[in-house]
Chain A
């Protein structure tokens, strides 16, 4: 059984991004970039399934500029067998990404397709669901537990108020939540070894995908700033202040 995992290169979660003064976008010229944390969980899960003998090949895919190679190398170092890079400088939203992934899935024919539940840059939370729809495949979003049986996958997913368990026919699309697993730390020798693994290049033109029709960005603004308030010396003073503000 083959697994395909999509990984995105995003601004590292520790970086506080700044809005450009003219509101035209974000200032992310020189900030640290990493693999989207949810995608790390997706890769980790695939590697664990392989280690458990449930699948035998893991293909990692990333879409975007040249530097996406870095996250693909990380995925390979974590245990993916080969990588596909759809190289483009175009801004891609979830709609475009899901259409490109659809083409790759149709070529690769994986049984399990794993993605992160959302990318921490645009926080859109759409790609896995869209891809599942385009493939007419079942979906299990926000997965916290994955079990592969012979002809179905049983997934526990996080919902408001608790968890829900679904059994999916194959091929199936799964989106990973952070609690799915704790991704392994990539060791230097593994990164070196990953350089020998195949990283195939593809282009949007080759794949023949129409990626027109995305949302237009009009402007970007800072969130309404909260003023730091006051320090109170003790509980009595806190209660006084809260009572004065009619909060209690």
Chain B
């Protein structure tokens, strides 16, 4: 059994979620990684050093630079023949590209899987994580996307997997890349952080969200997350949203502050090791999933918490 992983990257660095996918795929067989891009030889070399990678396929063309689904999907399909599984992380990148691959190959895709039982059997969440379904397929080829938080990240070693240049498929010219705006941050990435502090609607304004959560996050070396209500109210940018339709996180320590605990939110954080809830409503649902809860006003508790942590 040989698996092809489609690498997510920005031309310089591999996305960490791909490292989680590499770990997951090792359960299925030999792992090859496809790096498609434009002028990214350094990256290709980085990938060849990751433990568990048996071969790196490198496709270089200007039209691969922005990793558009219309360009990458036909490339993956052109390389698919020897592989039993075509895999990517269930990030915005993987979710965008892999179903297109599956349709072109006319095969099933198991989305956002959390467990690989065997090469035909997988577990995945449905209904915002209210249930986990075990699915099976006898198809000769399957497309999989991997929930990164369910698998550890592969690490680099001293190995050098062979690198093979592959033919670029021709440009499709169906869509054109216009631009990308990324939120700059020197904080740890939300999905990889050891500690996440998340705020909800209760903060009342972007200023207060920032004024209260930033010092707490700085003190803890944490990433900042948000509920959908907080994102909708523009207290935080959309890529900070945790939940069914946002990011799935599973840090060692998660703070839910002024967040009610709707299932769509808890779907994205219930695998955290320790959950702390701060909410003024003693009956808030969030307390049902929290290891430690404080009932009270966040505008008093958060500054106090930050102060006491700084003084430790």
Whether B294 lies near A220 (C-beta < 8 A) is no
Chain A, residues 22-48, CB within 8 Å of chain B (1/0): the string is 000010000000000000000000000
A129: which B residues are within 8 A, CB to CB?
A: 69, 95-100, 103
Q: How far is the CA of A221 from the CA of B101 in the complex (A)?
A: 29
Rounded to whole Å, the gap between the CB of B86 and the closest CB of chain A is 13
Whether B68 lies near A16 (C-beta < 8 A) is no
Q: How far is the CA of A154 from the CA of B176 in the complex (A)?
A: 9
B79: CB under 8 A from chain A?
no
Whether A238 lies near B305 (C-beta < 8 A) is yes
Q: How far is the CA of A243 from the CA of B147 in the complex (A)?
A: 30
Q: How far is the CA of A245 from the CA of B276 in the complex (A)?
A: 12
Whether B292 lies near A242 (C-beta < 8 A) is yes
A140: which B residues are within 8 A, CB to CB?
A: 175
Contacts A129-B100, A221-B134, A247-B274: A229 and B293 contacting too (C-beta < 8 A)? yes
Which of B109, B137, B253 contacts A248 (CB under 8 A)?
B253
Q: How far is the CA of A167 from the CA of B176 in the complex (A)?
A: 5
Whether B111 lies near A126 (C-beta < 8 A) is yes
Contacts A223-B132, A247-B274, A248-B253: A141 and B294 contacting too (C-beta < 8 A)? no
Q: How far is the CA of A220 from the CA of B270 in the complex (A)?
A: 18
Pair count A-B, CB < 8 A: 238
B126: CB under 8 A from chain A?
yes
A19: which B residues are within 8 A, CB to CB?
A: 131
Rounded to whole Å, the gap between the CB of B29 and the closest CB of chain A is 20
B252: which A residues are within 8 A, CB to CB?
A: 247
Q: How far is the CA of A244 from the CA of B217 in the complex (A)?
A: 20
Contacts A95-B103, A133-B100, A160-B92: A218 and B174 contacting too (C-beta < 8 A)? no
Whether A95 lies near B108 (C-beta < 8 A) is yes
Whether B99 lies near A177 (C-beta < 8 A) is no
- Interface residue tally for chain A (C-beta within 8 Å): 81
Rounded to whole Å, the gap between the CB of A160 and the closest CB of chain B is 5
Q: B146-188: which have CB < 8 Å to A?
A: 173-183
Q: How far is the CA of A215 from the CA of B126 in the complex (A)?
A: 14
Q: B101-118: which have CB < 8 Å to A?
A: 101-104, 106, 108-112
Whether A235 lies near B127 (C-beta < 8 A) is no
Closest B residue to A214 using CB positions: B108
A21: CB under 8 A from chain B?
no
- Interface residue tally for chain B (C-beta within 8 Å): 85
Closest B residue to A210 using CB positions: B106
B208: CB under 8 A from chain A?
no
B70: CB under 8 A from chain A?
yes
Which of A93, A117, A229, A235 contacts B308 (CB under 8 A)?
A235
A161: CB under 8 A from chain B?
yes
A159: CB under 8 A from chain B?
yes
Whether A93 lies near B108 (C-beta < 8 A) is yes
Chain A, residues 224-248, CB within 8 Å of chain B (1/0): the string is 0010111111111011011001011
Closest B residue to A227 using CB positions: B291
Main secondary structure of the interface of A (DSSP, over half): mixed
B130: CB under 8 A from chain A?
yes
Question: Which of B19-27, B39-47, B49-57, B232-240 contacts the other chain?
Answer: B232-240
Q: How far is the CA of A142 from the CA of B96 in the complex (A)?
A: 9
Tell me which of A125, A131, A236, A245 has the highest count of chain B C-beta atoms within 10 A of its own C-beta: A125
Which of A124, A131, A163, A221 contacts B111 (CB under 8 A)?
A124
Contacts A123-B111, A218-B134, A239-B312: A141 and B293 contacting too (C-beta < 8 A)? no
Q: How far is the CA of A124 from the CA of B137 in the complex (A)?
A: 16
A183: CB under 8 A from chain B?
no
A70: CB under 8 A from chain B?
no
| Chain A interface (Cβ < 8 Å from any Cβ of B) | 11, 13, 16-17, 19, 26, 93-95, 98, 117-118, 120-134, 136-142, 144, 152, 154, 158-169, 172, 177-179, 213-223, 226, 228-236, 238-239, 241-242, 245, 247-248
| Chain B interface (Cβ < 8 Å from any Cβ of A) | 15, 68-70, 73, 91-93, 95-104, 106, 108-112, 121, 125-137, 139, 173-183, 191, 220, 228, 231-232, 237-239, 244-245, 247, 252-253, 263-264, 270, 273-276, 287-295, 301, 304-305, 308-309, 312
Q: List 29 A-B contacts (CB under 8 A).
A: A16-B130, A19-B131, A95-B103, A95-B106, A123-B112, A123-B244, A126-B99, A128-B99, A132-B69, A141-B96, A142-B96, A159-B180, A161-B183, A163-B180, A163-B238, A164-B181, A168-B176, A169-B173, A213-B108, A222-B131, A223-B125, A223-B270, A228-B289, A229-B275, A229-B291, A231-B293, A232-B293, A235-B301, A238-B276
A124-B111, A139-B175, A248-B312 known; 4 other A-B pairs, CB under 8 Å?
Answer: A130-B102, A169-B173, A219-B133, A235-B305
